[in-house]
Amino acid sequence: MRNSDGMEWTREALTERVYRILREDLLSVGDEFTPTSSLIDAGLDSLAVTQLLLAIEESTGVWVDESLLTEETLASAESLAACVHAQIAHA
């Protein structure tokens, strides 16, 4: 899977993408929110997660299976991106 620049989605690029979607579109967070911040503590709820998955699908063309979403995968933007990256690798 490639991004809009024709490059392969790296885990770092996905982390940055997920982080930006969360920060700019879905969560009301301040500067203290980082790619390693807890998503649940930052206010991620079921609607925001589904909207995030839709945005990821739009960017990568891959729909992340909701059953993969657990406390561990939703721990931070980084861990969620790792989950997405693993799914892209198998797509």
Residue 8, SS3 per DSSP = strand
Beta bridge partners of 2: 8
Q: Does 65 bind another protein (CB under 8 A)?
A: no
Instruction: Give the residue with the Cβ less far from another protein, 10 or 70.
Output: 70
Q: Does 22 bind another protein (CB under 8 A)?
A: no
Does residue 39 contact residue 23 with C-beta atoms inside 8 Å?
no
- Distance from C-alpha of 91 to C-alpha of 86, rounded to nearest angstrom: 9
> Quick one: which of 10, 34, 36, 50 contacts another protein (CB under 8 A)?
50
Q: Does 74 bind another protein (CB under 8 A)?
A: yes
Q: Does 27 bind another protein (CB under 8 A)?
A: yes
End-to-end Cα, the chain, rounded Å: 8
- Distance from C-alpha of 38 to C-alpha of 58, rounded to nearest angstrom: 24
Q: Does 47 bind another protein (CB under 8 A)?
A: yes
Residue ranges binding another protein (CB under 8 A): 26-28, 41-51, 54, 66-67, 69-71, 74
